[in-house]
Amino acid sequence: MPYDRQWVADAISMIEADFNRSADTHLIRLDLPKLGNIGLYLKDESTHPSGSLKHRLARSLFLYGLCNGWITRDTPIIEASSGSTAVSEAYFAKLLGLRFIAVMPKSTSQQKIDQIAFYGGECHLVDHSGQIYEESQRLARELGGHYMDQFTYAERATDWRGNNNIAESIFDQLKREPHPIPRWIVVGAGTGGTSSTVGRYIRYGRSLGQGCELCVADPENSVFYDGYESGDCSVTNNKGSRVEGIGRPRVEPSFNPTVVDRMYRIPDAASFAALYYLEKHLGRRCGGSTGTNLIATLSLITEMKKAGQAGSVVTLLCDSGDRYCDTYYNPDWLKAQNIDLTPWTKALERFDQTGLFDMPLDQCNGYAGCKGS
């Protein structure tokens, strides 16, 4: 397709105008019982126009593709996704009048499939999450399109020094809080781009010397934790994560383990039990990755309390639970997955009584590839 300079200039202007119409997302202080001198904050990314944290990523990926000359008038856009990024990219493809095809596992929630269709996108479903990469490349070749490849370009497309930077927003919104420099920021890993952005900004913003650290929470059937613990980022598995939006069968190129201070592996039952706990305390439903983040966050708060520390901990509310009515909030789906929430539900109830989360979790402090170097 011929490169249309004026169309590209107009497309960039439309994306920038869309951003200019947007307000920042809210930083919610979650007042749980027994927190004491520790502030727990949720960065609510569900309020973006396309409904999730991935709105920031999709915007950055489109700008990256446009400015690199990869996207022009009538370029079909293809993306490999577990759903959330695809919804946001479908939003921007519609804005620019481009065909959009999302390559996703068949297990993707119907609500996400419906949202992609609402924005005019097409869904190409595969049997297993490990198949999405090659299938996306094949479609891009056959259609003469552009494969966005969020897993490779997420950390390159998002500028941690500005331009749509979630980390900068978090620190700005904490300025008037009792503890404006957080002790921990907790995120999940889907592409690895958010953790790379936050980890770099902690260093760039000079918060490293003030005790701020980054924790990444990884769900079952994901290999980010394994790569971090072993130092071998070539590790893979053949299972898909049940927590949509995070967890991958390979360590994605955008994941930067050297900026991560700690990782937790979170059982899926814990993640889903945390959703019901959050619904009780927040008054609304959240997506599965928020539950994964919360479990790691409560473990860190427990550690701080035992050490007699005050401070703040920030994590992400990635998307709304409305997307998962047929899965995480469906007792029949949980039963079919052989997931028992009971032990984790009881542990969360004990946290409300004591301020201590007493369930053991796998954890690793410091990337193995850096140890001894």
Supply the CATH number for residue 137's domain: 3.40.50.1100
Same domain flag for 346 and 200: yes
Q: Read off the tokens for 367.
A: 């990337």
- Each residue's pLDDT tens digit, 245-274: 899 999 999 999 999 999 999 999 999 999
Report how far residue 129's alpha carbon sits from residue 107's, in angstroms, rounded to the nearest whole number: 9
Same domain flag for 234 and 354: yes
Same domain flag for 170 and 311: yes
Q: Read off the tokens for 201.
A: 């900004």
Domain-located, residue 225: yes
- Each residue's pLDDT tens digit, 297-310: 999 999 999 999 99
Q: Read off the tokens for 241.
A: 């994560």
The pLDDT value recorded for residue 11 is 97
The pLDDT value recorded for residue 372 is 42
Other Cβ atoms less than 10 A from the Cβ of 210: the count is: 12
Domain-located, residue 151: yes
Same domain flag for 171 and 41: yes
Domain-located, residue 2: no
Domain-located, residue 184: yes
Report which of 106, 175, 99, 185 is spatially closest to residue 142, judged by C-alpha positions. Answer: 99
Q: What is the maximum alpha-carbon separation in the chain?
A: 65
Question: Is 249:345 a contact under the CB 8 Å cutoff?
Answer: no
- The secondary structure element, H or E, covering residue 125 is strand 122-126
Same domain flag for 92 and 202: no
Same domain flag for 293 and 338: yes
Tell which of 127, 155, 183 closes a domain: 155
Average pLDDT of the chain?
Answer: 93
Same domain flag for 140 and 174: no
Report how far residue 316's alpha carbon sits from residue 54's, in angstroms, rounded to the nearest whole number: 12
Q: DSSP 3-state assignment of 74? A: coil
Domain-located, residue 372: no
Domain-located, residue 3: no
The pLDDT value recorded for residue 12 is 96
Tell which of 123, 155, 187 closes a domain: 155
The pLDDT value recorded for residue 95 is 98
Tell which of 102, 120, 155 closes a domain: 155
Same domain flag for 230 and 291: yes
Domain-located, residue 5: no
Q: Which pTM does this prediction carry?
A: 0.94
Same domain flag for 208 and 132: no
Q: For residue 73, give its domain range.
A: 54-155
Report which of 187, 166, 174 is spatially closest to residue 47, judged by C-alpha positions. Answer: 166
Question: Is 25:95 a contact under the CB 8 Å cutoff?
Answer: no
Ramachandran assignment for 129, one of left (phi > 0), alpha (psi -120 to 50 degrees), beta (any other): alpha
Same domain flag for 25 and 71: no
Domain-located, residue 4: no
In total, how many domains does the chain have? 2
Same domain flag for 194 and 309: yes
Same domain flag for 226 and 347: yes
Q: pLDDT of the chain along its 373 residues, tens only?
A: 788 999 999 999 999 999 988 888 999 999 999 999 999 999 999 999 999 999 999 999 999 999 999 999 999 999 999 778 999 999 999 999 999 999 999 989 899 999 999 999 999 999 988 899 999 999 999 999 999 999 999 888 876 555 558 998 999 999 999 999 999 999 999 889 999 999 999 988 778 778 999 999 999 999 999 999 999 999 999 888 999 989 999 999 999 999 999 999 999 999 999 999 999 999 999 999 999 999 999 999 999 999 999 999 999 999 999 999 999 999 999 999 999 999 999 999 999 999 999 999 999 999 988 554 3
